[in-house]
């Protein structure tokens, strides 16, 4: 229920996973991609994404702070990648929008964010979907990462998928 989501978000704010007012960056907004796709975050979608990804984003904040502290005087710190590729349920475009924008808003600035493409995209499994469907999805992921700045869409486990690497390189380019 929305009441449970709200209570969980308040708990996440109290624990430091989100600063007060974080959600204002997302309310009543639409993001238009270069292809004309419009992506927005309805209140319930934003709340579910915040609850789902709040703890891992807070953990990534802590890891980044530790790396920065330990890396002082050693040159440029290593790149950080946020990977959600191992989950069975695919990351929705709205969730991916939230992940990319929220990681940028927090200053995480990961080299890439790797969404889950679902159970059909697991290590060692042949991709069973339609290539055109995958292409449409990859285009959307690449365009969403562009909305957040320099991030890239990470596509994990592609090496074992015959014909997928050329498709991802063609569709995503440097995204």
pLDDT tens-digit readout, 121-171: 666 566 666 767 777 888 888 889 888 886 677 776 555 555 565 656 666
Q: Tens digit of pLDDT for each residue in 38-71?
A: 999 999 999 999 999 999 999 998 988 888 888 8
What pLDDT score was predicted for residue 14?
Answer: 92
What pLDDT score was predicted for residue 1?
Answer: 79
Q: What is the mean pLDDT of the chain?
A: 82
What pLDDT score was predicted for residue 123?
Answer: 61
φ and ψ of 5, to 5 deg: -60, -45
Picking from 11-25, 96-110, 114-128, 141-155, which range would have the lowest pLDDT averaged per residue? Answer: 114-128
Residue 63, SS3? helix
Model-level pTM?
Answer: 0.84
What pLDDT score was predicted for residue 132?
Answer: 75
Asked if 139 and 35 count as a contact pair (C-beta separation under 8 A), the reply is yes
Give me the sign of the Cα torsion angle 91, 95, 98, 102. negative
CA–CA distance, 45 with 49 (Å, rounded to integer): 6
């Amino acid at each position: 229920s929305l009441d449970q989501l709200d209570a969980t978000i308040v708990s996440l704010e109290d624990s430091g996973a989100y600063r007060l007012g974080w959600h204002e960056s997302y309310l009543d907004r639409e993001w238009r991609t270069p292809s004309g796709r419009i992506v927005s975050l309805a209140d319930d979608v934003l709340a579910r994404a915040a609850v789902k990804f709040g703890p891992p984003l807070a953990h990534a904040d802590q890891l980044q702070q530790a790396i920065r502290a330990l890396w002082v005087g050693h040159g440029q710190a290593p790149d950080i990648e946020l990977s959600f590729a191992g989950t069975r349920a695919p990351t929705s475009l709205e969730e991916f929008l939230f992940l990319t924008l929220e990681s940028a808003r927090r200053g995480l600035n990961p080299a890439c964010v790797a969404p889950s493409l679902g159970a059909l995209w697991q290590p060692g499994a042949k991709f069973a979907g339609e290539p055109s469907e995958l292409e449409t999805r990859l285009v959307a992921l690449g365009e969403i990462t562009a909305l957040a700045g320099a991030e890239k869409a990470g596509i994990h486990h592609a090496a074992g998928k015959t014909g997928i690497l050329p498709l991802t390189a063609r569709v995503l380019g440097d995204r």
